[in-house]
Structure 1
Amino acid sequence: MRDVRRANRASLLTDLFHGGRQSRQELGDTTALSQASVSNLIGEMIEEGLVEEAGLVGSDGGRPRALLRVAPGYGYVAGADVGESRVTVELYDLAMSRLGFAQFPLESGSGAGAGADPESAAEKLLEGLDAVVAEAGIEKSEVLGFGVGVAGVVDQSGEAPVVHSQTTGWDGVPLGRMLRDGTDVPIFVENGAKAVGQAEMWFGAGRGARHAVIVMVGTGVGAAVVVDGRSYRGAHSNAGEWGHTTLVYDGDVCRCGAKGCLEAYIGSGKVIARLAEVTGQEPDPKLLNRVLAAQGELDEGVAEVIRQTVGYLGAGIAGLVNLFSPERIVLGGPAGLPLGERFLSDIRDAAARNALRHPYSRTRIDLCQLGPDAVAMGAATLPIARLLADGGLPVTAGAAPMSRAAHRRSLSRGRP
């Protein structure tokens, strides 16, 4: 009975979160629950402070109906983006209004090609969590979870997430345990592209699609594959490493050590190096954005670099079309979004030339709507997904509802 109750609460809570304000009658229609069940469960969640009334709507000849929503202030969620040179931490309420922001530079690890030092990253993540909580003026016990987006594969099979990233030198980094040792806030760790993919599916360009691929192009290149509304992780959480599929046999060397990876041709570091070579400028991280923002026609050498990059990107997208036949492909990331904003028609043309005609004709290629740096926001959706899946109940909850404060404290002590 507890499992049934949890599932019914999850259905109602998920429908309210994604569908916006609704009456009890509308919730009964959309969830197929009886009006009695809806009334009882909504009553519990109102008592807990998880759901609240938010206005009235008229009815045919009867009394106005109360509209309901997930209470924005019931709890708060934090999200972080661990980049190669900086950590960004953000805090949101349950209406996804940003209440806090912090950013810190990161120390590099030892060895050639090493990314951020894991110990430094964990320290700055915890420092950032403290900073955004203080900025928002809330208690840390009110934070329902801390989601962290990272590069590479995140192994979720053990007690705490472990990160494997050849490109940044993170080989079996127990980031989940490192963070849990420093805070009581529940920790969620996920690949950054997958975190952004979830946010775009919930709030952005993927909304309404059941089969989609959200691709992120920056220094690294990754994808979030959504199949029938669910994120596809693969047998060992490796799915989505699109940047390390081979585009050119025995081609350019990639950061991962292999040759010919897609990332070696469209990753922003590689593109910037080519632009620096043809322009004689320093390989500044902002060089690509400056080139794309320039008015007028591009210089011949610059135009050729961009033409090749767009062609490689389109060919890579064509591979996703042929493999997954999605309804929608969403292009984003610090390099992908500005490329798409200026050259989306060329990217579509390149994809059409390299994809099978029938699946391509049923696929739409759009741009991300949440901006080029949405990893922290995407990571903040990870604890919300757990909240919705559990129907707002802590993992050890019994049948009786609790007070709002006690319920939130109990929920925040749960572990994914």
Structure 2
Amino acid sequence: MRVHSGRTVRDLRRENRTAVLQRLYFDGPLSRFSLGPVTGLSSGSVSNVVAELVADGLVEEAGSVDSAGGRPRTLLRIRQGSAYMIGVDVGETRVRVELFDMALTELARVEKPLAANGPRREDRYDVAVVVAHVRDSVEEVVRRAGIEPAQLLGVGVGVPGIVARTPEDGAVVHGQTIGWDAVPLERLLRESVPLPQEVPYFIDNGAKTLGQAEMWFGAGRGASSAVVVLFGSGVGACVVGDDLRSARAVEWGHLKVQVRGRRCRCGAQGCLEAYAGAEALLERWREAGGCPPVDADEETALTALLAAAHPSAPGAEADTTALAVLDETAEYLGAGFAGLINLFQPERILVGGWAGLQLGTRFLDSVRDYATLCALSYPASHASIELGTLGPDAVTVGAAILPLADFFAQGGRREPAEPEETTPAWKTSLRERAAQ
């Protein structure tokens, strides 16, 4: 049966379930009486939807509250153990896999290092090694958490690079900076990871998964529009509005900031990432005469750079070379932020990633100053630049949200897609006509 808007009754029921689930998830526990105003549904519709969700095991009672002059009202909440999600972060030095329940409580975590196996950066990201790490880690977190694989809503994966999709292979990753050229990651994972076929994969850019996490649970809550910046070895960004389904990753790190400038890891010259990513920042410090710790990883080396520029010991003098490199990096980032402000006019720019959070508020003050100088005054005056609040592991949380968001969009049902409707007669006629 169809309604006048073109949506079926089934569509309306799914939308009603989605509305109730989301409000209980973000604002619960709530009573049936409270659900009406926040969802726009009638009391009868709320009662019917809640009854379905309780019967499905997704919602449970959570005590009661007094009402004004009437019987106590029963509170409802999402049942924490009703389903589970896995989040995967294919990061710059490791593959991290975490398993969460519906309340995003971490039940198990496994990390596998991506150690360089040769002189080239691409060797660290050998596709077979990454797939094997994900396979072994997924098996381990499922075993540790003691859940049945069929209870999973899905596996979300955050990756570096551009993610396209094909009918044959699903998600295909184009990661130029890591040497991935059209890697059919979804197909490879599905062939390798021992999960039921009905458990879906959701693979997307790591900056986008970070953006999803910050908008749902972090510093982006309440913003109508934001750009979330992932600042690690390189830099990336996600542009997102209050409708999270329209979020999109942008290759911000490969915006040109200097013609015929420094060589970027993507192979081009003058990219922002060649100046402002942690890898490039540390290289520029070394070239300027700085002394990063020998054989240290990037996080340790960046800590040393900050300590040199801002020594904690009383009376210690700051390393002027380190200070100059940080200030120049802030200027490049400020110019990059100005580009984001002018192009997208966001309400907020949020900085996350291990390097962004490690550099912290003191560094961000300089970035704000340079961004204000470079951006158009009106959009700059309406955009705040802040640190993210979910910590350096937020990509994994955001990856786990991908199957959760899809589950909500389906009204909390895990059903196969509906069969396609019969092709209208006019389409058949015109196709036959065109073929003559």
State the TM-score, normalized to the length of structure 1. 0.90
RMSD, matched Cα: 1.9
State whether residues 89 and 157 of structure 2, in contact with CA within 8 Å, keep that contact through their aligned partners in structure 1. Answer: yes
Q: 1:76 aligns with which of 70, 80, 84?
A: 84
Matched, 1:280 2:291: yes
The one-character-per-residue Cα deviations of 1:59-96 (angstroms, maximum 9, x if unpaired) are: 10111111111111001111011123321101111101
CA contact (8 A) 1:206 1:212 kept: yes
What does residue range 25-104 of structure 1 map to in structure 2 within 5 Å? 25-104=33-112
Partners of 1:117 and 1:132 lie apart in 2 by: 23
- Offset of residue 385 of structure 1: 0.5
Aligned match for 2:304, one of 290, 312, 330: 290
What secondary structure is seen at the aligned counterpart in 1 of 2:207?
Answer: helix
CA-to-aligned-CA distance 1:8-41 (integer Å, 9 cap, x gap): 1111111211223211111111111111111011
Q: Is the 8 A contact 2:241 2:247 kept in 1?
A: no
3-state SS, counterpart of residue 318 of structure 2: coil
* Cα distance change, pair 124–156 in 1 and its aligned pair in 2 (3 A): same
d(CA) in 1 for partners of 2:395, 2:362: 22
Q: Which moved more, 1:87-96 or 1:180-189?
A: 180-189
Match of 1:211 in 2: 225
Q: Which residue pairs with 2:434 in the alignment?
A: none
Cα separation, 1, equivalents of 2:370 and 2:392: 22
TM-score normalised by length of structure 2 = 0.86
The alignment covers a number of residue pairs equal to 394
Q: State the AA in 2 paired with 1:227.
A: G
Task: Tell me, yes or no, if the aligned pair for 2:212 and 2:244 is still in contact at 8 Å.
Answer: no
Q: In 2 relative to 1, CA 157–34 (structure 1 residues): closer, same or farther, beyond 3 Å?
A: farther
Post-superposition CA distance 1:116-159 (Å, at most 9, x none): 11111111101111111122122222222111110001113535
Residue 230 of structure 1 corresponds to 244
Match of 1:136 in 2: 145
Does residue 340 (structure 1) correspond to residue 360 (structure 2)? The answer is yes
Q: Does 1:153 align with 2:170?
A: no
Residue 169 (structure 2) pairs with residue 169 (structure 1): no
Q: Partners of 1:39 and 1:81 in 2: how far apart?
A: 40
| Distance across 2 between alignment mates of 1:372 and 1:354 | 28
Give the equivalent residue in structure 2 for 1:361: 381
Alignment partners' CA distance in 2, 1:355 and 1:231: 28
**Equivalent residue letter for 2:250:** G
Equivalent in the alignment of 1:202: 216
Aligned to 1:271: 281
- In the alignment, the residues of structure 2 paired with residue 36 and residue 20 of structure 1 have an alpha-carbon distance, to the nearest angstrom, of 19
Please, which moves more after superposition, 276-285 or 385-394? 276-285
Equivalents in 1 of 2:247, 2:69: separation in Å?
Answer: 50
Q: Which moved more, 1:353-362 or 1:290-299?
A: 290-299
Query: Structure 2: where are the runs of 5+ without partners?
Result: 1-8, 419-436
Letter in 1 for 2:54: I
User: Aligned to 2:137, what secondary structure does the other structure show?
Assistant: helix
Q: Aligned equivalents of 2:119 and 2:283: distance in 1?
A: 21
Counterparts of residues 370-381 of structure 1 (less than 5 Å): 370-381=390-401
Task: Report the AA paired with residue 321 of structure 2.
Answer: G
Deviation, structure 1 residue 197: 0.4
What CA distance in whole angstroms lies between the structure 2 residues aligned with 1:2 and 1:231?
A: 21
C-alpha deviations, 1:180-209, integer Å up to 9, x for none?
Answer: 123223211110010010000000000111
Determine if contact 1:85/1:116 at 8 Å carries over to the other structure. Answer: no
Query: Which amino acid is 2:383 matched to?
Result: T
Write the deviation string for residues 252-310 of structure 1: whole angstroms up to 9, x where unpaired: 11111111111001111111112234223336312112332542653011100011111
Work out which of the two has the higher radius of gyration on C-alpha atoms and give 1 or 2. 2
Give the residue type in structure 2 aligned to 1:258: A
AA of the residue aligned to 1:66: T
Matched residue, 1:411: none
Give structure 1 stretches of 5+ with no counterpart.
Answer: 399-416
Tell me which moved more, 113-122 or 68-77. 113-122
Provide the C-alpha distance between the structure 2 equivalents of 1:352 and 1:29, rounded to a whole number of angstroms. 41
Q: Is the 8 A contact 2:84 2:153 kept in 1?
A: yes
DSSP-derived class of the 2:354 partner: coil
For the 8 Å contact 1:109–1:116, the answer to whether it is kept is: no
Does the aligned pair in 2 maintain the 1:272–1:283 contact within 8 Å? Answer: no
For 2:152 and 2:304, the matched residues in 1 are separated by 39
